[in-house]
Structure 1
Amino acid sequence: MYYLKNDRLKVEIQEPGTFYKGSRFDWTGFISQITLDGNIEYCVPERLEEGEGTGGLGFCNEFGIDSPIGYDAIEVGELFPKVGVGLLKKDEDAAYDFFRTYEVSPIEVKINKEANSITFETTNASPKGYGYHLIKEVAIVDNRLIIDYRLTNVGKYPIHTNEYSHNFIGINNEFIGEHYQLKMPRMKNIEVEVGSISSSHDQLTWPSTPDGDFYAHIDWEVKNGTYNWDVFHDKIGAGVREISEFEPSKIALWGRNHVVCPEVFIDIKLKPNEVKSWKRVYEFYQDKEV
C-alpha cells in the first residue's frame, strides 16, 4: 500500500498485483480511497455483494474495454497485451469480453515514490509482436488529484485502443438518491439504456435509490463548460469534479444503488514508436455553506 498526503487530500494506492489481480483494470495506480480534509471519503467498491462484479474499486482505469490490443489477430490459446495488466490468454474463438476472467501473465512494474507523487513504469510485448511502454504518474496538488499517462507503441504493429477511468464514487458511503446531483455542462443529450435517471438541462438526479443498474450514453459538446462532470451530495456538502482537458471519444454513465460512475474515454491510435500523453485531473471540494 502507498499513500499520498498533503493538507487537503489523502490518497490510498494499492501495490500492483496485491489487492487487485484481475484481468480487467489497470494494476498500476489503482486508487482505493481518497479522503478530503480528513472527513470526506469518495471511493466505494463496484459491487457490495461478495463475489459479484469484476473487482473494481475507487478510481481505477481500464485500457481496451472494447478494443483490446492484438486480440483479433491471434488464435485461441495465444497471448495478447492488456495495458497495465500483462499478457492475457485468448481462451475461445469469440469477441473479447471485459466481464470475462482471462488467464494473466502479470507485468513487472517499476515504482518510484516521492513526497506528493508516485510513478509506475512498465513495458510489455506479446509473442505476436504487439507491445507498449506505459509511464503513469499519480500526484496531488492541494485538493486536486492529477494522473499523467505516457503510452508508447514499442511493438511491430499499429495499435488502436482506448482508456477511461471508472470512478466508483459514493460520497461517505451514502447511497444514490435525492441528495446526489451529477452536473455535466457539456452534455447535449443523454440516452438511458438501463434503469432510470432524471435529467434537466445539464443536471442528472435520482429521486429515489435505484433498485438495479443504470447505464447511459451521453452526447457531448467539446467546447462548452469548464469541467466535464461534477458529482455533489447536497446533504453532506461535498463533491468531486473532473477538469481533464483532452477531447473525449465517448462518455458513459454507470451506477447502482451505492455508486455513480461518470466515464470519460480517450481514443488511442499509435504507429510503432509513436507516443501519446494525456492527463486526468480531479478536484475534490466541500461547500462550507451546506
Structure 2
Amino acid sequence: MYYLENNRLKVEIQEPGSFYKGSRFDWTGFITQITLDGNINYCVPERLEEGKGTGGLGLCNEFGIDMPIGYDAIEVDELFPKVGVGLLKKDQDEAYDFFKTYEVFPSEVKIEKSANSITFETTNYSPMGYGYHLFKEVEIVDNQLIINYRLENTGDHPIYTNEYSHNFIGINNELISEHYQLKMPRMKEIDVAVGSISRSQDRLTWPLTPDGDFYAHIDWEVKNGTYNWDVFHDKIGAGVRELSEFRPSKIALWGTNHVVCPEVFIDIKLKPNEIKSWKRVYEFYQDKEV
C-alpha cells in the first residue's frame, strides 16, 4: 500500500494486484481512502454485503465498460486488452459484460513515488495486434487530488474505447439521506432509470435512504463552469467537487443506500502511435459554518 500525505489530505493507494485482482477496474492508482483534515473520510465500498458486487471501492476507474478494445474482432479463447488490467480471455461467444469475471493475464506495472505524487506505467500487446501504453500520475496539491492520464496506442489497429472514474463516495460512512445533496450545474435533464431521486433545478437529493439501487443518465450542457458535480453532506459540513476540464461524452449516476457515484465519461479514439492525455481533478472541502 502507498500513501500520499500533506497538511490537508491523506490518500491511500493500493499496489496493483494486491487488494483488487478483478477484470473490471484499472489496477493502477486504485484509491481506497481519502481523508481531509484528519477527520473526514470519503471512500466506501461498492457493496456492504460480503461477496456482492464487482470489487469497487473509493476512486477506481475503468476503461471500456461498453467499448472493449478488440473484443468483437476475436474468437472464443483469444485474448483482448483491458487497459490498466492486462489481457482478458474471451470465454464465450457473447457480448462483453463488465459484470462478468474474465480470466486475467495481468500487465507488469512500473511504479515511482515521490512525497506528493505516485506514477504508474504499464504496457500491453495482444496476440491480435492491439497494444497500449498507459501512464498515470496521482498527485495531491493542498486539498486537491489530481489524476493525470496519458494513453498511447502502441498496436497495429485503432483503439476505440472510453474511460470514467467510478467514485464510490460516502462521507464519514453516513448513509444516503436528506442530508446529502448532489449539485450538477451543467445538468439539463435527468432520466432516472432505477430507483428514486428528487430534483430541484441543479440539485439532486434523497428524502429517504434508498432501499435499493438508483441509476440515472444525465443530459449535460457543454458550457463553462467551476465544477462538474459536488457531493455535500449538510450535517457533517463536508463535500467533494470534481473540477475536470475535458468535454464529457456522457454522464451517469449510480448509488445505493450507503454510496453515491457520479460518473463522468471520456471517449478515446486513437490511431496507431497516437496519444491522448487528460486529467481528473477532485477538491475536498469542509464548510466551517455548518
TM-score in terms of structure 2 length:
1.00
Query: Deviation string for 1:244-271 (max 9, x for gaps)?
Result: 0000000000000000000000000000
Query: Per the alignment, in what secondary structure is the counterpart of residue 92 of structure 1?
Result: coil
Query: Per the alignment, in what secondary structure is the counterpart of residue 72 of structure 1?
Result: helix
One-letter code aligned to 1:51: G
One-letter code aligned to 1:220: W
Cα distance in 1 for residues equivalent to 2:212 and 2:223: 34
2:160 corresponds in structure 1 to: 160
Shift of 1:224: 4.1
Shift of 1:166: 0.3
2:238 corresponds in structure 1 to: 238
Answer yes or no: is the 8 Å Cα contact 1:185–1:224 preserved in 2.
Answer: no
Unaligned stretches of 5+ residues in structure 1: none
Cα distance in 2 for residues equivalent to 1:139 and 1:6: 11
Answer yes or no: is the 8 Å Cα contact 1:32–1:58 preserved in 2.
Answer: yes
Equivalent runs, 1:259-270 vs 2, <5 Å:
259-270=259-270
One-letter code aligned to 1:230: D
Query: Per the alignment, in what secondary structure is the counterpart of residue 140 of structure 2?
Result: strand
Cα distance in 2 for residues equivalent to 1:248 and 1:236: 30
One-letter code aligned to 2:235: K
1:205 corresponds in structure 2 to: 205
Matched residues, number: 290
1:287 corresponds in structure 2 to: 287
Cα distance in 1 for residues equivalent to 2:265 and 2:107: 24
One-letter code aligned to 2:121: E
What's the C-alpha RMSD, in Å, of the aligned pairs?
0.4
2:111 corresponds in structure 1 to: 111
Question: Given the alignment of the two structures, is residue 16 of structure 1 paired with residue 16 of structure 2, yes or no?
Answer: yes
Query: Deviation string for 1:88-147 (max 9, x for gaps)?
Result: 000100100000000000110000000000000000010000000000000000000000
Query: Per the alignment, in what secondary structure is the counterpart of residue 60 of structure 1?
Result: strand
Question: Given the alignment of the two structures, is residue 138 of structure 1 paired with residue 138 of structure 2, yes or no?
Answer: yes
One-letter code aligned to 1:218: I
Query: Per the alignment, in what secondary structure is the counterpart of residue 166 of structure 1?
Result: strand
Unaligned stretches of 5+ residues in structure 2: none
Query: Deviation string for 1:3-60 (max 9, x for gaps)?
Result: 0000000000000000000000000000000000000000000000000000000000
1:68 corresponds in structure 2 to: 68
2:77 corresponds in structure 1 to: 77
Answer yes or no: is the 8 Å Cα contact 1:23–1:104 preserved in 2.
Answer: yes
Cα distance in 1 for residues equivalent to 2:209 and 2:227: 26
Bigger mean CA offset, 244-253 vs 217-226:
217-226
1:255 corresponds in structure 2 to: 255
Shift of 1:226: 1.3
Query: Per the alignment, in what secondary structure is the counterpart of residue 172 of structure 2?
Result: helix
Cα distance in 1 for residues equivalent to 2:107 and 2:154: 15
One-letter code aligned to 2:108: E
Shift of 1:169: 0.1
TM-score in terms of structure 1 length:
1.00
Cα distance in 1 for residues equivalent to 2:90 and 2:222: 37
Cα distance in 1 for residues equivalent to 2:257 and 2:116: 34
